[in-house]
Structure 1
Amino acid sequence: MDRPASPYRDLPPRAYWRSAVAERAPLDPGDLYRPRFPVTRDMRIVTAGSCFAQHVGRALRTSGFNVMDFEPLPARVRDETARRYGYRLFSARYGNIYTARQLAQLQAEADGALSPALPVWRKGDRFVDAQRPGVEPDGLESEALVLRHREAHLTCVRKAFRSADLFVFTFGLTEAWCHRDSGTVYPTAPGTIAGSFDPQQFAFRNFDVPAVLADFCTFRETLRQSRPDARFLVTVSPVPLTATATGQHVEVASCYSKSVLRAVCGMLTERFEDVDYFPSFEIITSQNARGAYYEANLRNVAPQGVETAMGAFRAAHGIGDAPEPEPDEPRRQRRRRREDRTEDVVCEEVLLEAFSR
C-alpha cells in the first residue's frame, strides 16, 4: 500500500535530522551551507564584527581572498605589536563591533551625520577613544590628540565601506551600554577599559529582533547608496557571553542573544537577495561536533572549529586552500601567513571576567 501524500515525503536527506545530523560522521560539517552567490578571490572584501569576526577575516585572508585593509601598518611592524594596537584585525582600525547599532552608528559618524556623545574617556591621566577604547592600550596624552586620531580613522572607515564588493559582518552581542540622553552606544561598558560608570549618564540596553534588524537594514541601505552592487555575508558569533547585565543566568542570556541575532540573519536573507548567511554558528555549536570545537573554558572557539567552518566555506565556493607562496615572497610575509593561522583574537568583552567574584 502506498504511503499517504505528505509535503515531507521524499525530501532530500539534508532535510531530516536522522540522516543529516545523527548519522553524519562526527566533526563532519556536512551540507549545511549552499551559497546564494559566489565569493571569489578578486572581490574586495571588507570585514567587521565581534571577536569571532577576526577569525573569519583571518581565514579569508589566508585562503587567498582579497580582504582589504585601509588602515595598514608597514610590514616591518610585528603582528603581535600591530594587533595590540588594533591593526590587522579588520578592514579599518575600528576594533570589535559587537552590535548592529554600533555598526550603523559608525557609518553615520563616518558620513558626518552623527557625533557620538562623550567621545573621549579618561584612563588614569591619559585619554582614549570611547568608541574603540582598546586600540590605544596606554592611552594618549590629550583629548585633542584622541579626536585628531578619530578624524583620521573615520576617513579610513569611509574609504573601506565605500569600496566593498562584499561586506562581511559577524553579529556578536545584543547587550550594550548607551548614553541616556543621546542614545550613543559604546563597545564596552564605561569603567571596563576606561571611563567611569555613572548610572545617571549610562543605561543598559538589550536589543531585540526589530531593533537589530532595523539597524542592519539602515547600514545596508546607506552603504548601497555608494556601492549599489555591494553584497553582504552575515554570520553569528558562536562565542557565548562572558557576562550578562540582564540579571539572568549567563547561559540563558547567551541563548537569548544568539537567538535574536540568528533570527535577524534569517530575516535578512529572506528579505534581500544581496544578503547571504554563512552558518559558522551552526557548524561550531552543532551536537555533531560533541563540543570538540571549543577550548576548555567552553567559550573560546578552538582552531579546529575555525578551520572546519572556513573549510566548509571554501568547499562550498569551490576554492581550495590558500595559494602556495611564491619563491621570492618576502620572509616577513611568509611568517605572517603562519601567524595568521594561530594568532589569538583581541576581545575586550573577556575583560568582564575580572569583575566576577
Structure 2
Amino acid sequence: MSGSEALKVSMGNPSRGWQGTKSSARTRLLANEFFPIQHKPKFLLDKSQKFFTVGSCFAREIEYKLAPLGVPLLLRGRGLQRRYFRSWPHGDDAPGADAIYSGVFNKYTTASIEHEFKRTILRERYPQEGLIEIEDELWFDPHSSGLKNLPLEQALANRAIIDSAMQLVREADIVVMTLGQTEGWLDSQTGIAMNTQPGPAAVRRFKDRFVFIDHSYRETVEQVDRTIKLIRQECNPRMRFIVTVSPVPFNSTFRAQDVVVAHQATKSMLRAVAEELFRSYEFVDYFPSYEMVINTGRNLAWLDDQLHVDGEMVRHIMGTFYQQYYPEAEAVSVAPAA
C-alpha cells in the first residue's frame, strides 16, 4: 500500500486513534459498558447459509445466541443426553435426564479439532474407535468433552452419534472455528490428539501412555491451516470460515508458570494464529469477540468464577456479529442463553 493510500485508509477509519475522539479506544475503555468494536467483515451473510460451529465452549455460546435469530445451525439440538455427562452445566432445574447437551462437541485445542475432522471426514479408524478402557469395563472417550466413563457398548453408541453429527460439516456454508488453548494431550499408543486427558489417576496408572504437549505457534498455524484445507477439499470448495479466539481461560496449567501467565501466552499465540490465517485467505475472516471481552470491565464481562463469560456479554457480542454480518436483516435483540 502506498503512503497516500495508507493515509486515506487511516483518515477514513473513525476508530483509528487510542485517544482524542468520541470513538477513540480511551473513550470506549472508560465508558464502563460492554466494549463496542469496529469490524468490517470480509464477506456478508444471509439466513439461507448453514453454520457449523467447532472449537471451545465459546462456540456453544455462539450457537445459543444465534439460534433465536433464525440462523441455520447444523449442530443445534444435537449432542447426547444429560445422563451421559459427568456434570450438567445448565443447573439442577434444567430439563431432565433426556435433555440433549451439545457441549460434547467442544474441542479445546487446534490439534483435537484437526484430529476430529480427519476421523470423521477421512474415516480414520482405530481399535474400539480410540476409546480407552480406563477401569474394568468402563471406557473413556478421548475425542469428546465432559462424558462419563461408560460401558463399551454405550460408549461406542455415543461415539457413533457424535461422528454422525460431525459429518454435517459437509452441508455447511460457513464454519465458525473458535480457538481455545494450546496445551493438549496425546495418546502415544494410538496417536490420537486427545480433546481432554482422562484424569490424574488414569495418567498415573497408564504411566507414559499419555503425553502432555504445549503446541508451538508454527504447529498451531499448520494444524488450523490443514483443517481448513481439508474441509474445503473434501466438503465444499466454496466454504468460508469465521475464526474467533475464546477468552475463556483453562482451569489450570500443566506448565511451570503462574496460570495467568500461561493463559496469556496461550491466548496471545492463538490470536496471532487467527491473524495469520485472516491475512492469508480471502475466505477466512476474523471476528473480534476476544477483544470485546478482554476490553470490557471484569465486573461486566465475567461471571463470579472469573472463568466463564457472562451471558449478557455474549449477548452483546452476538448482537454485534448479527448487525455486522447481516446488515439487511431486521434489527433484533439477541435472546438470553438457552
TM range (shorter): 0.7 to 0.9
Q: Which residue of 1 aligns with 2:14?
A: 13
2:289 to 280, 293, 296: 280
Query: Hey, what does 1:37 align to over in structure 2?
Result: 43
Mapped partners of 1:134, 1:81: distance in 2? 18
Deviations 1:333-355 (A, max 9, x none): xxxxx7xx244xxxxxxxxxxxx
Contact kept, 8 Å, 1:269 with 1:276, in 2: the verdict is yes
Matched, 1:201 2:209: yes
Cα deviation, residue 149, structure 1: 3.6
Which residue matches 1:105? 115
Q: How do 1:121-160 residues align onto structure 2 when only pairs under 5 Å count?
A: 121-122=133-134, 126-132=138-144, 134-135=146-147, 137=148, 139-141=149-151, 143-158=152-167, 160=168
CA distance in 2, matches of 1:221, 1:68: 20
Q: Deviations over 1:215-242 (max 9, x none)?
A: 1111111111220111111111111221
| Residues 1:227 and 1:87: Cα distance change in structure 2 (over 3 Å) | farther
After superposition, the Cα gap between the structure-2 partners of 1:123 and 1:311, relative to the gap in structure 1 and judged at 3 Å, is: farther
Q: Secondary structure of the equivalent of 2:38?
A: coil
Q: Using the TM superposition, give the Cα deviation of residue 127 of structure 1 relative to its aligned residue in structure 2, in angstroms.
A: 2.7
Q: For residue 49 of structure 2, what is the amino acid of its counterpart? A: M
Cα deviation digits, residues 26-58 of structure 1 (max 9, x gap): 325334321111122111111111111111111
Q: Give the secondary-structure state (helix, strand or coil) at the position aligned to 1:15.
A: coil
Matching residue of 2:87: none
Instruction: Tell me how far 1:104 sits from its aligned partner.
Output: 0.9
Over the aligned positions, Cα root-mean-square deviation in angstroms equals 3.2
Q: Give the total of aligned pairs.
A: 312
Which residue does the alignment assign to 1:26? 32
Q: Which residue of structure 2 aligns with residue 223 of structure 1?
A: 231
Look up the SS of the partner of 2:155 in the other structure: helix
Aligned match of 1:347: none
Structure 2 gaps of 5+ residues are 84-89
Output the amino acid matched with 1:315.
Answer: Q
Contact 2:63 2:73 in 1 (8 A): yes
Structure 2 distance, partners of 1:309, 1:291, is 16
The answer for the alignment partner of 1:56 in structure 2 is 62
**Which position in structure 1 is the counterpart of 2:265?**
256
Deviation at 1:6, TM superposition (A): 12
Task: Look up the match of 2:274.
Answer: 265
Are 1:191 and 2:195 matched, yes or no?
no
Deviation (angstroms), 1:118: 4.6
Letter of the structure 1 residue corresponding to residue 303 of structure 2: E
What CA deviation, in whole Å up to 9, does each residue of 1:51-77 have, x standing for no partner?
111111111112221111387389xx9
CA separation in 2, counterparts of 1:251 and 1:73? Answer: 32
Report deviation, 1:23: 1.6
Q: TM-score, normalised by structure 1?
A: 0.77
TM-score (norm 2): 0.81
Contact 1:62 1:322 in 2 (8 A): no
Q: Give the CA deviation at 1:251.
A: 0.3
1-structure distance, mates of 2:98, 2:278: 35
Q: Distance in 1 between matches of 2:99 and 2:287?
A: 25
Deviations 1:145-172 (A, max 9, x none): 42344234323322x1111100111111
Pick closer, same or farther for the CA change 1:7–1:133 going to 2, 3 Å: closer
Structure 1 residues not aligned, in runs of 5+: 324-337, 344-357
